[in-house]
Amino acid sequence: MKTLSTVTLLFGMLVVHYSGIAQSRTMAKPGENVWVFVNSVKADKRPQFEQFLHEVFWPGAEKLSGDDKKVFSQTRILHPTTAEADGTYSYLFVMDPVLKGGDYDITSLLTKMFGEAKAREYQKMFDDASSGPQKGYLLTQSKN
């Protein structure tokens, strides 16, 4: 019973923590830019891609400062629920709002986080999982 209570308490703390993060997220105001990038990932490389995102890239943002760190706080990742017709999986990055002058280049950010040698290794991890180039959309937030 003590284990169940501990797990329940831990889960409750996580829900409160992540709820606070979601509520504090800044969103674009009318007229501000939003970027959406679609990354097609090979079906057999999904675990590698998600490991890159959630164990390397996002935690690495803690090593950044200023606007570089803000880029991450204003970016969300959407995971696919089903495969595309060609068998790949589309992961979306939503930069909302776009930080004017912000560094959104994965290679550059990896280098700032880990240095050149490790950045090349992690970039390869990202590239090997990708089934093609990113497709990007620059959008403007509407009034409604």
CATH number (domain holding residue 131): 3.30.70.100
101: pLDDT confidence band, cut at 50, 70 and 90?
very high
CA dist 59 → 1, 49, 143 (Å): 34, 14, 34
What burial letters (b/e) apply to 105-120, b meaning 16+ CB within 10 Å? Answer: ebeebbbbbbeeeebe
Q: Kindly list the distances between the CA atom of residue 13 and the CA atoms of 4, 10, 109, 130, in Å, as whole numbers in the listed order.
A: 14, 5, 31, 35
Q: In this structure, is residue 98 part of a structural domain?
A: yes
Q: Which domain holds residue 131?
A: 27-140
- Structural domain tally of the chain? 1
Question: Is the confidence at residue 39, as pLDDT, over 50?
Answer: yes
Q: Residue 7 domain-assigned?
A: no
What pLDDT shows up at residue 26? 83
* Mean of pLDDT values over 4-12: 37
The pLDDT value recorded for residue 25 is 75
Within a domain: 135: yes
On the question of pLDDT at 97 being above 50, the answer is: yes
pTM: 0.80
pLDDT at position 14 over 70: no
pLDDT digits (tens, 9 = 90+) for 44-89: 999 999 999 999 999 999 999 999 999 999 999 999 999 999 999 9
Q: Does the residue 56 lie in any domain?
A: yes
